[in-house]
Amino acid sequence: MTSQDVPRTPRGDSASTRLAYVLTGVLLVALGLVAVLIVSAGADPVTGKPAASTKPAKLSSLVESTTHTRLDQAPADPNPQQATEGWIVRPTKVIALRDAPGGRAFGKVGPNQIGETWLPVIDQREQWTRVLLPSKPNGSTGWLRSAHLKRTFTPYLIRVHLSSMRLELFFEGREMNSWTIGIGEPDTPTPTGRTFVLGSIVDPDQTYSPIILPLGSHSDTLDSFGGGPGTVAIHTWPTTDVLGTASSNGCIRVPQEALNQLTQVPLGTLVLVDQQ
């Protein structure tokens, strides 16, 4: 080895200086390892505080879509006045609702609430089905895995025209019958858009209708009504003078003949409410 091959020590360098360089390097490596451990533990590398989790939400932590709940992250109905093909589905178990096919879970829905839960199909993408939901806000939708759904068909369609105060019942695309109805007064209007027959119940605490048909929509002005969540329903009334008037709290009042026929339609049947 020649003199040119021998490493030269910088001027002013000493054994203590070189030791300081080594210790500094060791410290930096240690700090880097700590940062890696903090990040891997799900914490902010600067503050050390827990970071927001990126793990999918557990089904048990999701809010269930029912007439009593609100899911503000649910996608809005893109075509609120469009009739469907008549397909309806029922979850076979409690399953996650997603904002797109394979997307983020924002809620869940189960097979029962007011009786069996049947939901109108508004879109289909391979293994995913988009449905209308019974929770607030009105016009909420969600995507469900098709493998966890029972599927059937309803030939019925109910159309409600607010301006003319008429309700029409269709079977296989043909009008079966129509009636003059009562609707919500100006301060508590009947909401427009696509909804559906959510249930069929007998309430022993009231006398205004032998059967009540709750819909998958709610009053836009009343957060609650009569101890419930302000669910809009179809029902009769003790007197017929309410027919042809805007006098209800948002519900649709029909004559007894209409209720007799409407109680024959399957749960999940689409109800289209417009301003005509």
Sign of the Cα pseudo-torsion (246, 249, 250, 253, in order): negative
Q: Which of 72, 162, 152 is nearest to 119 (CA)?
A: 152
Sign of the Cα pseudo-torsion (86, 87, 92, 93, in order): negative
Q: Which residues pair with 141 in a beta bridge?
A: 132
**pLDDT of 159 strictly over 90:** yes
Average pLDDT of every residue of the chain: 86
Sign of the Cα pseudo-torsion (173, 174, 177, 182, in order): positive
Question: What pLDDT is attached to residue 55?
Answer: 56
**pLDDT of 184 strictly over 80:** yes
- Which regions of the chain carry the CATH code 2.40.440.10? 156-274
For range 212-237, the mean pLDDT: 92
For range 82-103, the mean pLDDT: 98
Q: Which CATH number fits domain 156-274: 3.30.360.10, 2.40.440.10, 1.10.10.60, 3.40.50.300?
A: 2.40.440.10
Q: Report whether 236 contacts 253 (CB < 8 A).
A: yes
Query: DSSP assignment of 34-80, as one string?
Result: HHHHHHHTTB-TTT-PBPPP-SPPPGGGSPB-STT-B-TTSPBPS-T
Q: Which of 206, 201, 204 is nearest to 115 (CA)?
A: 201
Tokens of 113: 């609430």
For range 76-82, the mean pLDDT: 98
Q: Which of 194, 84, 196, 86 is nearest to 139 (CA)?
A: 194
Least confident of 55-69, 81-95, 165-179: 55-69
Least confident of 152-161, 162-171, 219-228: 219-228
Kindly indicate the confidence band of residue 70, based on its pLDDT and cuts at 50, 70 and 90: very high
Q: Which CATH number fits domain 59-153: 2.30.30.40, 2.10.109.10, 3.20.20.150, 1.20.120.550?
A: 2.30.30.40
Tokens of 170: 């269709």
For range 22-30, the mean pLDDT: 41
Rounded to the nearest 10°, the torsion over CA 95, 271, 156, 75 is -30
